Homo-oligomer: A and B are copies of this chain.
């Protein structure tokens, strides 16, 4: 039911093009996954998300567990049916959100106790009940419960935390019951190479159908994150998909793929859209800027998204300046389409054997220097 097929491996880097088969369809990797935190990709209908080219979306277990509750989603026939999205879905484990609730949580070997950010009520996530919740939600790919340690935590904190996360991964594997969901383990270890390597070995040994890399892009510098990817790549089975969690700015999409990452997700595309920002081949555009006031050209003249086919920068600036919802909708459509087009072009460059050239050209067009791969 889950199979990962590698179509092409790049010769100069660790980039690869693949196809991940799931019960709700195939995903062409490397892929960017738009985020639908509360069972909706913000400001968009599922129709618009599909038209933007999304092959898989992510939803957040923490948020859905609190509201509307995994029990209700199960009653509705699972997330696909509840939100009317018939392609693949991935749910995270809630770990990241819970561990962001600083001061509102308590970690033990058993799991993590936390207070709801909504009403302060007390809850517990354990590997076992998180598996139950994710099975109720019914995504195609589900994630093991992990602790995502902040990037400023010292070695003495991160080491035992990582080992506990490894034990939790094992418990998740045992607790999981549904056959039509793929459980991915998560590599942790902060910014410490030895811990990252150790964690990768342990996770890879557990033989999940896919391996995720968590706890990056949480405050550390980008080169540090890239270094971690470089260091662990040899320890994660090549024939399994690798998912870098919560990372997805355009430069990161390119840099991570070159380091062997197959799947990424990020709220940046939709969050910046709601703040009035467009992602383009030439970098970010803040649509509040007065220079777009009379600009009758589309956001990006090479983009074929609904927003670029029909509306001018001047119109979108107007919407953004007066605070109309349609501004957020059009920019979300554009930013997701732009990111997925970038993935598609990158994937083709891998297949065509010129990913390195693509990487250099595209990064430089966006105003980024490529970061040296250090393996």
Binding site for B on A (CB under 8 A): 38-40, 42-47, 67-68, 72, 75-76, 82-84, 293-294, 296, 306, 310-312, 314-315, 317-319, 321-322, 324-326, 328-330
Contact = CB atoms under 8 A, between A and B. Distances in A.
B315 A39 contact: yes
A72 B324 contact: no
Nearest to A39: B318
Contacts of A294: 72, 75
A310 B76 CA distance: 12
Of the listed residues A44, A45, A76, A317, the one surrounded by the most CB atoms of chain B closer than 10 A to its CB is: A45
B319 A40 contact: yes
Given A72-B293, A315-B82, A324 B38 contact: yes
- Give the oligomeric copy count: 2
A294 B71 CA distance: 10
Nearest to A309: B84
Given A319-B40, A325-B325, A45 B76 contact: no
Given A45-B329, A47-B306, A324 B40 contact: yes
A321 B63 CA distance: 13
23 contacts: A38-B318, A38-B322, A40-B324, A40-B326, A42-B324, A43-B325, A43-B329, A44-B326, A45-B326, A45-B329, A67-B321, A67-B322, A68-B293, A68-B317, A68-B321, A72-B294, A72-B318, A75-B294, A75-B296, A75-B314, A76-B296, A76-B314, A82-B312
A264 B306 CA distance: 30
A296 B72 CA distance: 10
Contacts of A42: 324-326
A372 B43 CA distance: 44
A310 B84 CA distance: 6
A318 B84 contact: no
B38 A315 contact: no
A151 to B, nearest CB: 29
